Structure 1
Amino acid sequence: MSVDAAIVGPGNIGTDLMYKILDRGENIDLQRMVGIFPVEESEGLQAAVDEGVDVGTEGIDSIEAHADEFDLVFEATSAGIHEQHAPVYDDLDLFAVDLTPAAIGPYTVPVVNADEVVEEGHENVNMVTCGGQATIPIVHAVDRVSSVEYAEMTSHIASKSAGPGTRQNIDKFTQTTAAGLEVVGGAEDGKAIITLNPAEPPIMMRNTVYTMVDESTDVAEVRQSVDDIAAEVQTDVPGYEITLEPEVNEQDDVAFDLGDSIILTTMIEVEGEGQHLPPYAGNLDIMTSAALGTAERVAARATEADVAGGVSDD
């Protein structure tokens, strides 16, 4: 069963998501791209027109006017805008996949908890942040081997890959990502840091994850768990790579007494597929891939419900 969808927000993320859906969306049919500017003033809307996708230029009014055309909406605007739009989607009975840090719905990371979130029947799900999508799987992988007392992530992205929405939401980014490390990753306490690097040529997205665990932890088992989950992420994000497998920090490198704990350091690099944006924009690529992966799970659940309904009717 295919799910008809609309994208709200024709910026970098929305446009990249459009190309991903058109290129490899197995059960997602993109019906409309919606913005607030005339087509001739919006590169994203013009790209949609070029691809044969219908467009709307009246923002949320365009969604309300055509709500019967789709079942699911991808929100690719900003946290503040999604807070305004979410009640409208709810009233229209539209499933919302939120790519902003608004976090109105449950934090969702495809390889960790998307199936569970969709199965619970939520109608608004949050993709956390780009840094969250890159690092939460690692914290989860460590936590399923040894309880993570504390997790900290730093995410370094090319300044050129950070659009207005990202820049306006830096505080939301850190708050939402830190919460995601705890709620989805399993850490007892979490912290998040993001930097925008203006280097030329632009850097790839790079992430460092620190996890504090009991000193009795089997590091080899942690590394296997991390390798396993990285392979799962790579099915949606081919450019996701572990550049440093979990390593034990030496006690001398730590500014405080760890007691009976150790700190493991893991590093990740994310290279984008380059459909709409340069490969260095892996931070955008991992968000759009996560959104598409979640929507595919929504479509799969709808298919299962349709089949089950058919069986019960007989």
Structure 2
Amino acid sequence: MNDKVKVAIIGPGNIGTDLMIKVMRNSRNLEMGAMVGVDPNSDGLARAARLGVATTAEGIDGLLKLGVFDEIDIVFDATSAGAHARHNEILQGHGIQVIDLTPAAIGPYVIPAINLDAENASNMNMVTCGGQATIPIVAAVSRVAKVHYAEIIASIASRSAGPGTRANIDEFTGTTRSAIERIGGATRGKAIIILNPAEPPLIMRDSVFVLSDLADLRAIEDSIERMAASVQSYVPGYRLKQKVQFEVISAEHPVNVPGLGPVHGLRTSVFLEVEGAAHYLPSYAGNLDIMTSAALACGDLMARRRMDAGIARRRKEIAQ
């Protein structure tokens, strides 16, 4: 008996193709049902077809026509924030669980190391690559001290930024900033992304700067190390590049934070590196690997919940 849930991926680009390979190689509860695109000459669609996965180049309308559609219970959307709204509206009408890898943020923000167990919405938003890498660190500091301001800088290889990533730069900064505040716990957040054109391409690097109330330095460091280990459990290439750095900001020389005014306390600086698993993408593309790894962790848990609730069985019964 097959006890896995069938999924479809919309968007056969770098992220969608890497996610497909992760589903086929590593998933506990998922199996590929369909790969959906709009370009008949897409390498991702061709690869999916070679692997025996149903494909369509007619977008979501083509997915609805596929014979396997009635067996699909979860859909990953790896397209763009602009396209996701229509996709989600159609899929919700069919009772399908949606996992959003775009910055559309229709559903709640989900970062597996922080809040996956607590969320159970029909649309789950995976924030952004920079958010997946850095917001766990902000949340780790928030577990120990009140965070007034957090700023993250995500630096990725230009080669690992495809058309979808480039089209969503504005949404990246807005969505990441919002998630820094909502699930990272910062009163005020800021997000910056850098596309580095260096050759050979550089691995993903992230810098996190957190301004919080004064707190025990060892407690903050321990919290950050535990959080990093939690992320590493589903993103093996995630690691701290050096020891956590601290600086006391005195009341006599506060930092002026826009929207908050002068703030003093403890500045915590954390420097990260994310190396990709190289399932489909080069190892330097950690920005894409962390998104697909986080989405896979989310999909596996949502599939288990749907199986436990009998939702997957009910959809298959309706299809018959």
Q: TM-score, normalised by structure 1?
A: 0.92
SS of structure 2 residue aligned to 1:149 = strand
For the residues of structure 2 that align with 1:56 and 1:63, how far apart are their CA atoms?
7
Q: Which runs of 5+ in 1 are unaligned?
A: 310-314
Say yes or no: does 1:289 pair with 2:293.
Answer: yes
1:234 is matched with which residue?
Answer: 232
Contact 1:222 1:246 survives alignment (8 Å): no
SS of structure 2 residue aligned to 1:61 = helix
Deviation at 1:303?
A: 3.5
Say yes or no: does 1:127 pair with 2:126.
Answer: yes
Deviation at 1:245?
A: 3.3
Farther-moved stretch of structure 1 (21-30 vs 55-64): 55-64
SS of structure 2 residue aligned to 1:199 = coil
SS of structure 2 residue aligned to 1:103 = coil
Contact 1:270 1:282 survives alignment (8 Å): yes
1:9 is matched with which residue?
Answer: 11
1:45 is matched with which residue?
Answer: 45
For the residues of structure 2 that align with 1:86 and 1:182, how far apart are their CA atoms?
25
Farther-moved stretch of structure 1 (280-289 vs 108-117): 108-117
Farther-moved stretch of structure 1 (10-19 vs 66-75): 66-75
Contact 2:75 2:99 survives alignment (8 Å): yes
For the residues of structure 1 that align with 2:243 and 2:187, how far apart are their CA atoms?
22
What value does the CA root-mean-square deviation take over the aligned residues?
A: 1.8
Say yes or no: does 1:248 pair with 2:246.
Answer: yes
Deviation at 1:300?
A: 2.1
For the residues of structure 1 that align with 2:282 and 2:100, how far apart are their CA atoms?
23
The number of aligned residues is: 301
SS of structure 2 residue aligned to 1:154 = strand
Distance 1:259 1:277, change over 3 A: closer
2:122 aligned partner, one-letter code: E
2:270 is matched with which residue?
Answer: 266
2:223 is matched with which residue?
Answer: 225
Deviation at 1:246?
A: 2.5
2:56 is matched with which residue?
Answer: 56
Q: TM-score, normalised by structure 2?
A: 0.90
For the residues of structure 1 that align with 2:255 and 2:224, how far apart are their CA atoms?
26
1:73 is matched with which residue?
Answer: 75
2:194 is matched with which residue?
Answer: 195
Deviation track 1:166-192 (CA, whole Å, cap 9, x = no partner) reads 111101000000001111111111100
Deviation at 1:209?
A: 0.5
Deviation at 1:69?
A: 2.2
Q: Which structure 2 residues correspond to residues 105-120 of structure 1 after superposition, within 5 A?
A: 105-118=107-120
For the residues of structure 2 that align with 1:237 and 1:262, how far apart are their CA atoms?
29
2:30 is matched with which residue?
Answer: 28
For the residues of structure 1 that align with 2:161 and 2:124, how far apart are their CA atoms?
23
Deviation at 1:117?
A: 0.9
Q: Which structure 2 residues correspond to residues 148-167 of structure 1 after superposition, within 5 A?
A: 148-167=147-166
